[in-house]
Structure 1
Amino acid sequence: MNVAINRFTTPLYGIAEAAGYLAVPPSTFTTWAFGYERRLRDGRTVHGTPVITAARPDRPHEASVPFIGLAEGYALAAFRQAGVPLQRIRPAIDALQRELGLEHALASRRLFTDGAEVLNDYAEHVGDESARELVVVRNSQLVFSEIVASYLRRVDFAADGYAQVITLPQYRVADVRVDADHAFGRPRFARGGAKLEDVIDLFQAGEPVDVVAEEYGLSRDEVEDALRVATRAAA
């Protein structure tokens, strides 16, 4: 029986799971999802609000992040990879949401089409060099830096303009995607459609790489790439 998934509200991923898919530390993803409160040495307390869609779970390891929250985290991972600290990009995210008029701007196609110009305008208005580092001028047009653009090019959007499929960034050979409409949002190989966890489980059960590859219609290089990422994540 197929279970209907709402990309915006159906919890699919635990915090550590989502962080692993995006190759960011769980502590970082927790801050994105639930905000933070920190006491400074002078006794003041600083707060950071959540920047992605998530609900606090009732129990540890319970799913709390919907697909759209994962997509928002994916955009933040791109900003993080570009070297911009989140505390400096939070106001810019607010500007994106406000100027684009979208509740989930980080998961929207308009982030890719209009986001660079919005961030540049914001940076010029408030003199924020961090936000400006995300944007470059190419062919007389404002576009995202190559690091950010390379992430955003890996997102496919549904008819409503919001993320539908994400190609995960940490694979060098294998094409591994997360699709809200398939496998309950779990990573799958684009070629053959095998679930990533099934491939990993078969290898961990003792089957050689070549047998795993043949079983799921993959190349040896694809399987080895998946194992490399899984091993690094477990380290």
Structure 2
Amino acid sequence: MAIDRFTTPLYGIAEAAGYLAIPASTFTSWAFGYRRRQRDGRAIRAEPVITATRAERPNEASVPFIGLAEGYALAAFRQAGVPLQRIRPAIDALQRELGLEHALASRRLFTDGAEVLYDYAEHVGDDSARELVVVRNNQRVFTEIVQNYLRRVHFAHDGYAEVITLPQYRVAEVTIDARHAFGRPRFARGGAKIEDAIDLFRAGEPVDVVAEEYGLTRDEIEDVLRVATRTAA
């Protein structure tokens, strides 16, 4: 099956949220927007900000790789301490100024995004967008937290994300690449799917045996098991 990373649904909402280490409710609001009624009776509506389709059944795949990449950028902003509802207008400005349909998943977010957000913040007096950008050596760059996220994205020749290194692992390097294993997380070293290693451990094999089976270290396997246990909880 040929996978189009812009359109082929690969991940369920909860699954995608788990990969990015964010609540499923947060990813849902990013993917489908929300409508909430305030105490004074006024309704607040927010539009979707990442690429996804409505699934017909629970846990059915609805998010393509590019939607996961867009969510990854938003997770970086969230990790920097800025709630999405406060920076939605800045994201709109980012998409508009970069002139790209999937600006959050583009190389230009990394190269030009900080400049765009800084100019937007100065123009409208938006402190939320300004919190994502610092001035260093007379250049406007993303804060270190955001930079650390964006450095883990590899971009294809078309300028859009192709490989993502997941943020929640401390020892193992775990990547997602739509070209391999239907976009399931894999160890960067050796290429084994992390779910295969986890399944082998759950089948009763000791950690050292699992590590030897996949040519990895004990620390790498324990790191993956730590994240899997936390996600399941």
CA distance in 2, matches of 1:4, 1:222: 31
How far 1:234 moved relative to its partner? 1.0
Number of equivalent positions: 233
Output the CA distance in 1 between the equivalents of 2:131 and 2:44. Answer: 25
Q: Secondary structure in 2 aligned to 1:47?
A: strand
Q: Which residue number in structure 1 is paired with residue 151 of structure 2?
A: 153
Matches within 5 A, 1:108-119: 108-119=106-117
State the Cα distance separating 1:181 from its structure 2 match: 0.4
5+ residue gaps, structure 2, are none
Picking from 97, 101, 104, the partner of 2:102 is 104
Please identify runs of 4+ aligned residues in structure 1 that moved more than 3 A: none
SS at match of 1:52: coil
- From 92, 95, 105, the counterpart of 1:94: 92
Aligned to 2:186: 188
- Within 2, Cα distance between the matches of 1:53 and 1:5? 15
Alignment partners' CA distance in 2, 1:136 and 1:167: 24
Q: Unaligned regions of 5+ residues in structure 1, if any?
A: none
TM-score by length of 2: 0.99
Structure-2 residue corresponding to 1:178:
176
Q: Find the aligned partners of 2:45 and 2:198 in 1 and give their Cα distance.
A: 40
Aligned to 2:231: 233
Residue type matched to 1:203 in 2? F
**Given residue 43 of structure 1, which amino acid in structure 2 is its aligned partner?**
G
Identity %: 84
TM-score (norm 1): 0.99
- Are residues 1:68 and 2:31 paired? no
Distance 2:95 2:86 in 1: 16
1:46-85 pair list within 5 angstroms: 46-85=44-83
Are 1:166 and 2:142 counterparts?
no
The secondary structure found in structure 1 opposite 2:209 is helix
Q: Secondary structure at the match of 2:164?
A: strand
